[in-house]
Structure 1
């Protein structure tokens, strides 16, 4: 594809095809995302549709190495044509500009040198223009083919039959130098543009480079070296110190330390021993281990990250939809302007009206290429998404990246987001008249063993380490946002917060209440254990605050964002945590639906809300928020709902994600301003609006150079994101 109009043509052709629900073409990424009904249309038929307008798509399975080889070959051919065009254009330019009247054979020499530039180096423009014309469409190829083709034919005519104009008192001018230099400049611009676009996707290449190509496997007691694609589930993989882990699996033998910084961002290596999980792309540092392959190829976490980044880079930001509409009508509008320019010069031109008409029309056609317009948004998105991936910020789609810059309110879930999400029992206070505490502890442990709540897991771990054995309750019921209830031998027991006990009419001894208040002031969660008559004990569970939580919240405040903390915990614990991390606004004792309602309340106040969470109970609020951010160590459902996933459970990453969005959107705006400003200024100049006042007429060769420069400048500006400090 040579411009945004190419992408628009492919997209519109596919969207009108029967069986296609939606097609999106990314010009910068050279990718197509299409949703279609396999019963109505096949990939081969989609390919035929694209081929009808002069393009092609890869529908067969292609490895990244094969794809890179194809792209490298295409870039090498473009480089050869650029060098060839430049080498021949130089003598044509010198002859045309300085010796056009010196040699009688000058025009013929320029014709002989220009013809191969046009017919071989510039062949792609004419082939593309013809394929578009057959379907009543136009793109950049159309503009280049028309401008250079008309100039070349006019020059050939004047070279072969100069008498036609001489007999009419006009000079038979030739414009071979304009044709040669325009094609050379445009090819140079496309070559630089392709190289810059290639750099914009460097993040993907870095991620793909994390996976080894070969692996040692033990089969039937024999060690063999296989390609990574040949590894099967259940294979025993041998890993030596310094090697990258090739698959996701479980350590079967040996002990080692693994550098997981590419996933977690944590610089310290993690100890791995038998039973521990390791992930593809991480680095084995010290020991030799054997790993049982559990996920291979496209199923590994690394493969999912790569796929997410690729899909995000190929997706379109909302602003791109408007740009696509403009690009769709841009070329036809330029063709109309070119015709009007030619007509105006014929009517109002001076003595050399035909020459000026031809030069101005060619300049308009050449300078008005919509390349910069088409590259403005996708190149910035590609670099922004890649930069995020390099910093452990996975962005699901361009829309999430664009929306994040508008965020002015951030909601943080407490457990697992501000705190570590790994609570532990710290205190146990029994009622003064509680009898047979050992039996009651067994019942309490047995109840919590049935629950999957993090607090229940803390109780379970606490008593399991003491050697407790769980009993099977007669009945068990989870009370969302309150606690749990269970029956043993016909007696019902409750475990949960103060609100649950008060709802059930359970008596709360004063000394247990006071103990609970004190524990909550220490940022601990108080869990009551009771029978239907009275509370029997209060247990304190503490979830340590993450080391970087206060720093992350400070960074959010410095970014000008209002920060809110939501939790299902009690008000006292919430207040203590909020005080320690510097959060002014918080809400406690919230159910999952209450969190979503709070998001809606802020939105009703005109705020653009980002929700940060990690659990199933956050999913509804994440789906309701304008921008949803999941902590990478959270649940699968939270990460599925979220538009942005942080690979590190570090709140400083939230501020970085917002800064990245702001920088990316700022770059998009700069690119679009340059693209529109360039065309608004240059098209009238090319048409000759200054000629009546200053005698200035834009040379088509300068127009070609300006067009090439516009595309390169937009891509280069997008690449600046790679060095932006987050």
Structure 2
């Protein structure tokens, strides 16, 4: 038994994924079949590796492509092709519409007009709309239908009928066919569906970029000790027990334990905290983290799929591979609506042929085609995409990037929000939050910053920036010594300074002054001048100015708030109390964050996660809705559904308001489009004739189709007033 993964190409909607799943599952020896439309990936569990070729053949026979290449950089060509095809189609459609109205002016004559329309419509139907026609063929071969099938059915019926009347006009008249063409309807239907496809493809591409960003964090090469020499090898050649060397600034390629050396290591991808950790002999290091200022030699303890980074990648992949519970309304009903429409059209033909007036064939065929054309879901196809286009466009102007309509749909039900701390509700960078001095503040701060400017430690950088913001001039120290992991000993203008943590001052036998005891929470930097404790600086992570108001508004809306952070218990408790956050968890690793998301979901909660770091990626991928700060890591933004461009937390409130308002309008659009179809299908079938009414004239069909689309678009434009 083995598990295989394939890339699937050519899927046009979620129904395609379901169809592939079902057909492959029928193959003997396939134990599990799962296809994800968003990531275009399929996962199969099979009893025999030989079945892989059988699976590929089955998928290809259904009209889709397969590939073994996964996680390659995502191309933009599919989305760009959709947009190009939309532009070509809409341009031709506008020409068709003009020609359809032109006979009112008396030129050109009807025959010439129709032939011009046929020529203009042919590339729309046969080239741009080819995938809809293929879907129609698959429906007749397999019985599987989706929205594309319905579009293919309506546009093909309209085009073929119109072409026959145009090319064989005399025969069609003698046969009794109604003299009306639907070329412009074919153009507009296909055009707007492609516009919707373009935005859907953009959302799919963003989903796949999350995994690509994670893969960029991993190393491709490693320096491994072979015969007492360090040789660069491919990462796949590193084995458990290998001794590796990592130079300053390089990433650790695999997990392991330090043998020689000590260095400050950036583990923000794990903890989310910006301050590097000092690690030395016997300390653990993880793949994807970044070595600081010294050479490290360590022994590999976990390689390949067992490394910490690989576990994060696998988790995000699994989370994105799970199928959303809610699919677009149009896709859900298409599998029912298509055969129903066909049944109604056949019934229309039978009724007119056996019960209608002469000419029996002409009236029966004409009205059957009218049903198929009028049932083609132009308004239904526009109902969601137009609202999504307006909503995402409006959101982007407000600094909110939304991945697609499904995200807006899911956001409507959010009742719990989890926040990361660092970079989300705090600034995400070390800064001086408290400064206490015993004597001349300006002189002491000038000396401290003049010394700290020669250290690359993040705490030193924060202190230097604090002095620069106050425009305090800097000089150079006379002597300077870094005490690794503790601080700095230096002299400047005959003043001897000891600057560092509590341990360094204790080792220097310096007595701490009570009045310099800090009040704020953060990393403490104690300063002694000539053997006397003279200052205390607290370097911490400031809470954003908008965080408190956002939490208060969420509580007013009845949304439960959580904070889950990799920071320590003291800092987490302090921030939670300051902001009034109801629940908090400290010291949380990336996969633990996702576990908390799952536990809340198991209790029936609809969870949104807001974060900004690599360590947030698994939780972002697992949440019902994920929001990333635009100032954070690329992988967090790629793993999220929504990006708050400038890291403004108040935009999360705007997004929730937008999602609620947009969903109301989408539901109204769907109601309008369904009413349109429900009312006009019977009229197209000729029900008014029973009451001595008219057959549906071509003008009415065009106007009705246009008005239905206009009503949907106009209603969608109201979204601009929500935020």
TM-score (norm 1): 0.54
Name the structure 1 match of 2:673: 675
Name the structure 2 match of 1:393: 400
Instruction: Give a deviation string over 1:612-653, Cα, whole Å, max 9, x none.
Output: 223344444334433222222223443343332212222111
Query: For the residues of structure 2 that align with 1:24 and 1:324, how far apart are their CA atoms?
Result: 13
Contact 1:631 1:648 in 2 (8 A): yes
- Over 3 Å counting, the alpha-carbon distance change for 1:539 and 1:23 in structure 2 is closer
Contact 2:177 2:363 in 1 (8 A): no
Alignment of 1:5-404 (within 5 A): 75=90, 77-88=92-103, 113-125=109-121, 136=137, 138-149=152-163, 156-157=170-171, 175-176=178-179, 178-179=180-181, 182-183=182-183, 323-324=330-331, 327=334, 334-349=341-356, 357-396=364-403, 398-404=405-411
Query: For the residues of structure 2 that align with 1:400 and 1:487, how far apart are their CA atoms?
Result: 51
- Over 3 Å counting, the alpha-carbon distance change for 1:608 and 1:467 in structure 2 is farther
Alignment of 1:588-627 (within 5 A): 588=586, 590=588, 592=590, 594-627=592-625
Query: For the residues of structure 1 that align with 2:577 and 2:332, how far apart are their CA atoms?
Result: 50
Contact 1:200 1:379 in 2 (8 A): no
C-alpha deviation, 1:519, in angstroms: 1.8
C-alpha deviation, 1:142, in angstroms: 1.2
2:722 aligned with 1:725: yes
Instruction: Give a deviation string over 1:270-310, Cα, whole Å, max 9, x none.
Output: xxxxxxxxxxxxxxxxxxxxxxxxxxxxxxxxxxxxxxxxx
Q: 2:434 aligns with which of 426, 438, 441?
A: 426
Contact 2:417 2:610 in 1 (8 A): yes
Instruction: Give a deviation string over 1:638-695, Cα, whole Å, max 9, x none.
Output: 3343332212222111111222333333333333333333323322332244654675
Instruction: Give a deviation string over 1:373-407, Cα, whole Å, max 9, x none.
Output: 33333333333322222211123455544433332
Secondary structure of the structure 2 residue equivalent to 1:407:
coil
Contact 1:197 1:715 in 2 (8 A): no
Contact 2:82 2:198 in 1 (8 A): no
Segment drifting more, 408-417 vs 631-640:
631-640
Q: CA RMSD in A?
A: 5.9
Contact 1:190 1:708 in 2 (8 A): no
Number of equivalenced pairs: 502
- Over 3 Å counting, the alpha-carbon distance change for 1:11 and 1:588 in structure 2 is closer
Instruction: Give a deviation string over 1:107-157, Cα, whole Å, max 9, x none.
Output: xxxxx9332232211445566667767983644331212443566689734
Query: For the residues of structure 1 that align with 2:183 and 2:633, how far apart are their CA atoms?
Result: 55
Q: 1:564 aligns with which of 556, 562, 567?
A: 562
- Over 3 Å counting, the alpha-carbon distance change for 1:511 and 1:192 in structure 2 is same
Secondary structure of the structure 1 residue equivalent to 2:550:
helix
Secondary structure of the structure 1 residue equivalent to 2:627:
strand
Contact 2:388 2:404 in 1 (8 A): no
Q: 1:708 aligns with which of 698, 706, 715?
A: 706
- Over 3 Å counting, the alpha-carbon distance change for 1:428 and 1:74 in structure 2 is same
Contact 1:75 1:194 in 2 (8 A): no
Secondary structure of the structure 2 residue equivalent to 1:544:
coil
- Over 3 Å counting, the alpha-carbon distance change for 1:608 and 1:597 in structure 2 is same
Secondary structure of the structure 2 residue equivalent to 1:406:
coil
Which stretches in structure 1 are left out of the alignment for 5+ residues? 26-32, 41-45, 51-58, 93-111, 162-171, 205-315, 431-440, 477-484, 489-494, 501-505, 531-535
Query: For the residues of structure 2 that align with 1:672 and 1:77, how far apart are their CA atoms?
Result: 27
Secondary structure of the structure 2 residue equivalent to 1:564:
strand
Contact 1:125 1:144 in 2 (8 A): no
Query: For the residues of structure 2 that align with 1:708 and 1:373, how far apart are their CA atoms?
Result: 12
Secondary structure of the structure 2 residue equivalent to 1:606:
coil
Secondary structure of the structure 1 residue equivalent to 2:137:
coil
Contact 1:600 1:624 in 2 (8 A): yes
Query: For the residues of structure 2 that align with 1:351 and 1:61, how far apart are their CA atoms?
Result: 53
Name the structure 2 match of 1:307: none
Name the structure 2 match of 1:649: 647
Query: For the residues of structure 2 that align with 1:116 and 1:387, how far apart are their CA atoms?
Result: 44
Contact 1:496 1:527 in 2 (8 A): yes
TM-score (norm 2): 0.54
- Over 3 Å counting, the alpha-carbon distance change for 1:595 and 1:67 in structure 2 is closer
Query: For the residues of structure 1 that align with 2:369 and 2:78, how far apart are their CA atoms?
Result: 41
Which stretches in structure 2 are left out of the alignment for 5+ residues? 1-9, 22-33, 43-52, 54-59, 65-74, 139-151, 204-322, 439-447, 469-473, 490-499, 528-532
Q: 1:544 aligns with which of 520, 531, 542?
A: 542
- Over 3 Å counting, the alpha-carbon distance change for 1:686 and 1:403 in structure 2 is same
Query: For the residues of structure 1 that align with 2:197 and 2:13, how far apart are their CA atoms?
Result: 21
C-alpha deviation, 1:562, in angstroms: 2.0
- Over 3 Å counting, the alpha-carbon distance change for 1:466 and 1:604 in structure 2 is farther
Secondary structure of the structure 2 residue equivalent to 1:672:
helix
C-alpha deviation, 1:591, in angstroms: 5.1
Query: For the residues of structure 2 that align with 1:718 and 1:331, how far apart are their CA atoms?
Result: 26
Instruction: Give a deviation string over 1:515-537, Cα, whole Å, max 9, x none.
Output: 97x725xxx3364999xxxxx99
Query: For the residues of structure 1 that align with 2:123 and 2:88, how far apart are their CA atoms?
Result: 20
Contact 1:400 1:643 in 2 (8 A): yes
Contact 2:432 2:537 in 1 (8 A): no
- Over 3 Å counting, the alpha-carbon distance change for 1:406 and 1:136 in structure 2 is same
Contact 1:147 1:361 in 2 (8 A): no
2:638 aligned with 1:628: no
Query: For the residues of structure 2 that align with 1:725 and 1:60, how far apart are their CA atoms?
Result: 31
- Over 3 Å counting, the alpha-carbon distance change for 1:190 and 1:592 in structure 2 is closer
C-alpha deviation, 1:369, in angstroms: 1.5
Secondary structure of the structure 2 residue equivalent to 1:634:
coil
Instruction: Give a deviation string over 1:218-275, Cα, whole Å, max 9, x none.
Output: xxxxxxxxxxxxxxxxxxxxxxxxxxxxxxxxxxxxxxxxxxxxxxxxxxxxxxxxxx
Query: For the residues of structure 1 that align with 2:14 and 2:452, how far apart are their CA atoms?
Result: 65
Query: For the residues of structure 1 that align with 2:405 and 2:680, how far apart are their CA atoms?
Result: 31
Contact 1:196 1:716 in 2 (8 A): no
